[in-house]
Amino acid sequence: MSERVHVDIGGVNMGMIIESDDRLNPVLLFVHGGPGMPEHPLTERYPTGLEKLFTVVWWDQRGAGLSYSHDIPAETMTTEQFVTDTVDVTNYLRGRFEQEKIFLMGHSWGSYIAIQAAARSPQLYAAYIGVAQVSDQMASERAAREYMLSFYSDAGDEKTRERLRRIDLGDDSHLPAAYRRIRDGVMHRAGIGTTHAMKSVITGIFLPVMRNREYTLREKINIWRGKAFSQSTAGDEIYRADLRATTTELAVPVYFFSGRYDYTANYTMSADYLRSLIAPIKGFYLFDESAHSPIFEEPTRVLQIMHHDVLQAKCDLADAH
């Protein structure tokens, strides 16, 4: 089963791609990163296999990809609206697939949104899975900069190190423009970006998206339009938040997947956040060969955990609790 669906959510025509080897599988709603970066187009290059166990819903969020429109008011691109949208999409899926509860997975920016949805409406979810779980993103950015200063010094790349050294992230609640311009490039070259092996956003993300066979050319262009729109409207909210202070308890099983090389959403901060989080069941899983995207980098182990622990409401395979 593979189909494309458009649904009115909060007054916006939102698109999603639904994939499953068996329509009766439990539903997994995937809340993508960014903001504004749909991840289904990457699955041709980096297959996850999640459709073997779940009916996977790759939802393009408000203003992103299949859900992009120049008519979307910029003032609706808020954390509160994204959380509400997530709950509304959840209820649509519960009705359509006649499942009382579904599974919720958030990745990076998506984890910032999805964990708040799970905390708000726990009765809708069988479990929450945070991939590269955000906690205090501004603190994570500062830790990444310190790591890279050391990395590029050890690599003998004084030019890059000096560029980083001149940028002070300070205590501001947003990323300086000078840092935004170099951030993705220097993180990927240091192996701490989207994947540990990905050294270039062009070859690792842009080209796989443009070669994707399920999105039309217009839709691919809308991915980049939507990313720019989302970054300019919703991009700073995550840097003003500290989930450790605002989202402290979930009434559902909670699982965090982090890559050992992830400094985009610092893996030690994710582990610390889980330890402080109150939940009936919780497990932290560290992926030794991954950076920011274990579902793309180590899909076999992800499926093992999803099958053995998540679907069974256990945490036997967890590295920490």
Q: What is the 3-class SS of 143-192, one letter each residue?
A: HHHHHHHHHHHHCCCHHHHHHHHCCCCCCCCCCCHHHHHHHHHHHHHCCC
Question: What does pLDDT average to in each consecutive run of 10 residues of the chain (321 residues)?
Answer: 93 96 96 95 95 98 95 95 98 97 98 98 98 95 94 94 88 80 93 92 90 91 95 88 95 98 96 97 97 97 98 93 70
Q: φ, ψ for residue 237 (rounded to 5)?
A: -60, -35
Q: φ, ψ for residue 254 (rounded to 5)?
A: -125, 135
Rounded to whole angstroms, the Cα distance separating 250 from 133 reads: 14
- In this structure, the strands spanning 2-9 and 254-259 are unpaired
> Residue 155 contacts by C-beta under 8 Å, 6 or more apart in sequence?
none
The topology (CATH level 3) of 2-135+217-310 is: Rossmann fold (3.40.50)
Q: What is the model's pLDDT at position 171?
A: 66
Q: What is the model's pLDDT at position 21?
A: 95
Rounded to whole angstroms, the Cα distance separating 195 from 294 reads: 8
DSSP class per residue in 19-54: E-S-TTSPEEEEE-STTT---GGGTTTS---GGGTS
Q: What is the model's pLDDT at position 95?
A: 97
Measured CA distances, 45 to 25, 129, 179, 200 (Å): 24, 22, 29, 15
Measured CA distances, 245 to 171, 236, 273, 282 (Å): 17, 18, 10, 18
Range(s) of the chain covered by CATH 3.40.50.1820: 2-135+217-310
Distance of CA 23 to the CA centre of its chain: 24
Measured CA distances, 107 to 7, 158, 295 (Å): 22, 33, 9
Measured CA distances, 173 to 88, 146, 147, 284 (Å): 29, 18, 20, 28
- In this structure, the strands spanning 55-59 and 27-31 are parallel
Tokens 């289904």, residue? 40
